[in-house]
Structure formats: structure tokens, C-alpha cells
């Protein structure tokens, strides 16, 4: 559910849904079909990105309406059902923008103030969360961090209140930004308390719909979404994500995630939000003036990150959602001066929506057609045979190369091997990586309250933990992720990754997943990533007999055939 808007933060008429007879590109080997809402040149570029791993939908709008709305790849590959502009995706943490809009309306009408504390509204809520103000919760500055429940594990309202009440606040309230899912679940509890209909129905009848009967979304679970409209997500493990059948109760997720929309509805919802058609003028003013300066050219406003004009020639706002157990990713960019919305949703693991928007938004913002990626070819048989096998550094660090569909899967295990194949961006210092790994070990050793809860959950499922090993750290989706292997007394092991916030709280956890893996192509004796995304420093692998050399800017590592 967590998302950091890397692509954006560092970087007039209602649209409605596109007619269902719009031609859609459904697979790389199908003949190209022009899309009536997209410039053919743009559609061709997006089709090439689809051939290189993107599966999902796009929706771009301006003051005159839709400029591009199209689907690529499959909503369900098993059923042969293509992604179309009508395909529905979980919006993940973008739900926070929806919940924030509802809270701001209550502040605007005087039901709440920005100084109201959550504990004044929600009976039984105490601890740091109970003392947090509405403004602090909206801006992630309450200091409250930690995990109070799992997205698709049933959690009642009372259980959520009890769990959130035990969360720590490592920083002084109002002093620092610390992304908090629990903080937004707290805001959902506030909405639930103040609404006669409950949190979900309150959103459905207010900020998810308009006075003229237009509805912009529902909830992925326990909603009214037709299964034939859902995008089936694929997790990094290759397994399908949560299908929307989870009956709840949903208090591990409500407020922080859970809403679902089409990309086109998300674009129109965004336009109406920022132009004041969705919420009152007073609520819109609160949205734009309630902020926390990050000190890097970006600001936090309720549910959004604001950026200056350095990257795109005009200022705007962005938000993203994904990283959970549904297998979807969505990102939204809003350019304020020209009132343009850019939304991409994805349901595959090879290229996420955020990665694609990072690649194409600079050109789109300038009114240009983005550059098509270089299409990777198959690996020559001779090179595949030469590279295949297991390679090692210092025995415990291994790189395994396996031919797959004419290309090569490269899997790294161990800190040196992971650093060689998945180097972090140069601007992230080695000390930051070491500190992240220290925080992960501290959590797994139960030295924090949420760490103790995490260990209890792991031991309930696998028995007593007897060891944990750091396998390496990578940078993905705007955050550091440290891979670990956890060993239980029974001898069973569990591998996965943990992302920590700078304050030492858990940002995200995904266990029972494969080690870091990347698809490579190549020629002669050299391999390079098939993923044309530039989210990581470029890596080249050279094979010379029984020696493998992995090189990236400023680094080189040599491995021997095992």
C-alpha cells in the first residue's frame, strides 16, 4: 500500500468512460490498432513499452477533455481479457487523497478543526495517535508510525483502535514527516465516527460521487465492482494478487488504501478535486494551503506531494499507490497551470506504472511524443550457454543465471552479489544503506514495539526464530528494500524484504518472495538489463570463461563459476 512519488516528487468537461468499441492493443504479436483518443504516434510508443513489459491503462486529460485513454496487455491473461479504459484497478495509497478530501470537507463545514485531536472524536483511542491532531495526521507529521494490521487480514474497528493506540511516535508531533498508513486509518476512524452511514458509504456518497450522479470509484473489496472489469494483478512471485473477494472487516486498510477506479475516472476525479468541482471552495483552499515543506523543492499537502516547476516547466502535484498484495500500481500527476492530468495504472510486475510515467512524463509535459524504448532481442545461444549456471563471491554470495524465453534471468543472493547486480543510485550513500540494514536487524531482533509484534506473527506461523541474515539491499519504487532470510528452529527458512522509514518504523514488508531478480539480454560476451527503465544505475555483465564481471558506474565486482 505504501508508495513514494519518485517520478513526480523528484521529478473542464467531464470525460466519462471511453466507448467500449475503442480498439485496444492487447498483445505484442497482435497487429497495431489505432486508438481514437490517442495520437497514433503516442499509441505506437506506448505499444512498444507494452512489448517491453508494461501491462495496464493510461489516461491523459486537459481542459478540453481526454487526450489519450488506452489499454495495453491483459486485464486477465488467463481469460484472454484485455486491459481497456473501463478496466478497474486498486488505487492503493491514492486512497489517502480521497480520505483527505472527505476530512477537509468536515473541517470546512466546522464539524472538525485542524487542531481537533483524533482521541477527542474516536472513543477509546489513546496513546500518541489519540493525541495527534487532524492536521498532523493529514500531513504525516503526527510522529505515529508502525503497522497496526495486515491489508487482507480481518481486523475489526475495536481491534484497530486498540492496535493503533499502542503505536509509538519516535518523533515530536508536527516536527518531521514520517509516512504513516496507521495515521490515515485513524482519519478513517474519525470519518466513521462522524458519519451516520459509516466510513465506506460516507466516501461513496460524498467525494467518490458528484451531485449529478456520476460515480468515480468504489472499494476493491466488498464493493460493487463487476469481476469482468477487474484487472488481475500479478505479484513479484508470479502469483495472482488479491481478487477483491475479501469480506473484511477492513480496518487494517480503510483510509490508507482500498479504493478502486479506472485510470480515466482517476484523471477526471483529480481534475475536479483541484479545480474545485468535487469539494467546496473552503475545502479546496484547505487542501492547497495545509502543507509541510520537505526542504527539497517539494511539499506535502493532504494526500499529495507538491512539486515546483523545475522538472516540467510548471508546478503541480502527484501521488502514487501500490506495493501491496493486490499486484497493482497507479500514479497520478497534475500540472496546475495547464490543468492537465496524467494517470497510469499497471497490473504486472515487469514494469510498474510509476516507472513508465518517470520515462514519458517529461516529454508529455512539454507537449512532445516520448521516445520509444529500445526493444531488446533474444540472447544468442552461445552466450546463453556460456553465462548459464551459478557464480560466486566469497562462497556465500551467489549469482544464478537461467535461460528463460530466449533471455536470461539473473538472481542475486548475498550482500556483495546483490550490490553487484542491483546497485543503488549513486546519490544514496553507503552509510544510508548500512543504516537501513541496521534498522531492519533491530526490528527483527524485537528491539522495537512493532518489531516485537512482527516477530510474534512470524513465530506464530513458523515457530521460534533462531537466526536472520541480511542478503542485500536494493532501491525499488522509491525506497530502500533489504532482503533477509529468517531461519526458524525447525530449520525452515523464510525469505523476503523489509523497507524501513528513517524514523525506524516499518514502511513495508513482503515475505515469501523470490530473491532480487532481473531479466538480461546481450550480445557477444556482454549482458545488459532487458528492462529499459532507468530506475537503477546501468549494469553490464561480461563473461570470460569461468569469470563473470558485473560493472556499474564507479563499481566492479568479479565472480567465479561455482
Alpha-carbon span 335 to 315, nearest angstrom: 6
Q: What is the pLDDT of residues 414-438, one digit of tens each?
A: 999 999 999 988 878 899 999 999 9
- Give the pLDDT confidence score for residue 510 in this predicted structure: 86
Res 7 pLDDT > 70: no
Domain layout of the chain by residue ranges: 6-14+90-365, 376-422+516-562, 431-514
Q: Residue 520: helix, strand or coil by DSSP? A: strand
In DSSP notation, 352-397 reads -HHHHHHHHHHHHHTT-PPPPPPPP-PPPHHHHHHH-EEEEETTTE
What is the residue whose three cell numbers read 495520437? 39
How confident is residue 130, by pLDDT bands cut at 50, 70 and 90?
A: very high
Structure-model confidence comparison of residues 211 and 442, the more confident one: 442
The neighbour count for residue 138, using CB atoms within 10 Å, is 29
The neighbour count for residue 488, using CB atoms within 10 Å, is 17
Q: What average pLDDT score do residues 118-127 get?
A: 97
CATH placement of domain 376-422+516-562: 2.40.128.600
Q: What average pLDDT score do residues 331-342 get?
A: 97
CATH placement of domain 6-14+90-365: 3.40.710.10
Alpha-carbon span 233 to 325, nearest angstrom: 9
Q: What is the value of pTM for the model shown?
A: 0.75
- Give the pLDDT confidence score for residue 511 in this predicted structure: 85
Q: What is the pLDDT of residues 463-482, one digit of tens each?
A: 899 999 999 999 887 789 99
Alpha-carbon span 562 to 31, nearest angstrom: 45
Give residue 294's region: left, alpha or beta (phi > 0; psi -120 to 50).
alpha
CB 504 within 8 A of CB 170: yes
Mean pLDDT of the residues in the chain: 88
Q: What average pLDDT score do residues 361-384 get?
A: 86
With pLDDT > 90 as the criterion, what percentage of the chain qualifies? 67
How confident is residue 536, by pLDDT bands cut at 50, 70 and 90?
A: low
> % helix / strand / coil in the chain, to the nearest 5?
30, 30, 45
Amino acid at each position: 500500500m505504501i508508495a513514494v512519488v519518485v517520478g513526480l516528487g523528484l521529478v473542464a468537461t467531464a470525460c466519462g468512460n471511453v466507448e467500449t468499441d475503442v480498439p485496444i492493443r492487447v498483445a505484442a504479436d497482435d497487429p497495431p490498432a489505432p486508438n481514437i483518443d490517442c495520437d497514433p504516434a503516442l499509441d505506437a510508443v506506448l505499444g512498444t513499452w507494452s512489448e517491453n513489459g508494461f501491462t495496464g491503462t493510461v489516461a491523459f486529460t486537459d481542459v478540453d477533455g481526454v487526450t489519450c485513454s488506452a489499454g495495453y496487455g491483459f486485464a486477465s491473461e488467463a481469460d484472454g481479457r484485455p486491459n481497456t479504459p473501463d478496466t478497474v484497478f486498486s488505487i492503493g495509497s491514492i486512497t489517502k487523497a480521497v480520505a483527505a478530501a472527505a476530512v477537509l470537507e468536515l473541517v470546512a463545514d466546522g464539524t472538525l478543526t485542524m487542531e481537533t485531536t483524533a482521541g477527542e472524536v474516536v472513543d477509546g483511542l489513546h496513546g500518541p495517535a489519540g493525541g495527534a491532531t487532524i492536521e498532523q495526521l493529514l500531513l504525516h507529521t503526527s510522529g505515529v508510525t508502525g503497522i497496526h494490521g495486515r491489508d487482507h487480514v480481518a481486523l475489526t474497528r475495536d481491534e484497530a483502535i486498540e492496535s493503533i493506540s499502542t503505536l509509538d511516535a519516535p518523533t515530536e508531533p508536527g516536527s518531521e514527516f514520517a509516512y504513516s498508513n496507521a495515521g490515515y486509518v485513524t482519519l478513517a476512524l474519525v470519518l466513521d465516527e462522524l458519519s451516520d452511514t459509516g466510513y465506506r458509504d460516507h466516501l461513496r456518497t460524498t467525494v467518490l460521487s458528484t451531485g449529478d450522479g456520476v460515480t468515480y470509484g468504489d472499494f476493491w473489496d466488498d464493493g460493487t465492482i463487476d469481476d469482468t472489469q477487474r484487472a488481475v494483478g500479478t505479484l513479484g512471485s508470479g502469483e495472482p494478487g488479491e481478487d477483491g473477494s475479501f469480506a473484511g472487516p477492513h480496518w487494517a486498510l480503510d483510509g490508507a488504501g482500498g479504493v478502486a477506479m479506472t485510470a480515466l475516472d482517476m484523471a477526471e476525479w483529480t481534475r475536479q478535486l483541484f479545480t474545485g468541482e468535487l469539494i467546496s471552495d473552503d475545502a479546496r483552499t484547505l487542501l492547497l494551503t495545509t502543507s509541510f515543506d520537505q526542504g527539497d523543492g517539494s511539499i506535502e499537502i493532504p494526500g499529495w506531494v507538491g512539486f515546483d516547476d523545475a522538472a516540467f516547466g510548471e508546478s503541480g502535484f502527484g501521488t502514487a499507490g501500490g506495493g501491496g498484495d493486490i499486484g497493482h500500481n497507479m500514479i497520478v500527476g497534475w500540472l496546475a497551470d495547464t490543468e492537465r492530468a496524467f494517470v497510469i495504472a499497471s497490473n504486472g510486475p515487469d514494469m510498474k506504472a510509476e516507472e513508465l510515467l518517470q520515462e514519458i512524463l517529461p516529454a508529455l509535459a512539454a507537449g512532445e511524443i516520448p521516445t520509444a524504448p529500445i526493444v531488446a532481442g533474444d540472447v544468442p545461444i552461445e552466450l546463453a550457454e556460456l553465462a548459464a549456471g551459478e557464480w560466486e563471491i566469497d562462497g556465500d554470495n551467489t549469482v544464478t543465471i537461467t535461460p528463460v524465453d530466449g533471455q536470461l534471468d539473473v538472481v542475486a543472493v548475498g550482500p556483495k552479489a546483490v550490490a553487484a547486480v542491483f546497485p543503488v543510485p549513486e546519490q544514496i550513500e553507503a552509510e544510508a544503506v548500512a543504516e537501513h540494514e541496521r534498522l531492519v536487524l533491530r526490528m527483527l531482533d524485537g528491539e522495537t514495539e512493532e518489531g516485537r509484534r512482527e516477530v510474534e506473527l512470524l513465530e506464530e506461523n513458523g515457530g521460534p526464530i533462531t537466526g536472520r541474515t541480511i542478503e542485500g539491499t536494493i532501491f525499488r519504487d522509491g525506497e530502500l528494500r533489504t532482503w533477509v532470510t529468517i531461519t526458524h528452529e525447525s530449520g525452515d527458512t523464510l525469505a523476503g524484504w523489509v523497507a524501513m522509514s528513517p524514523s525506524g518504523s516499518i514502511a513495508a514488508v513482503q515475505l515469501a518472495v523470490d530473491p532480487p531478480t532481473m531479466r538480461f539480454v546481450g550480445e557477444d560476451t556482454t549482458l545488459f538489463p532487458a528492462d529499459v527503465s532507468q530506475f537503477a544505475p546501468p549494469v553490464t555483465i561480461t563473461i570470460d570463461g569461468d569469470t563473470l564481471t558485473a560493472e556499474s558506474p564507479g563499481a566492479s565486482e568479479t565472480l567465479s563459476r561455482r
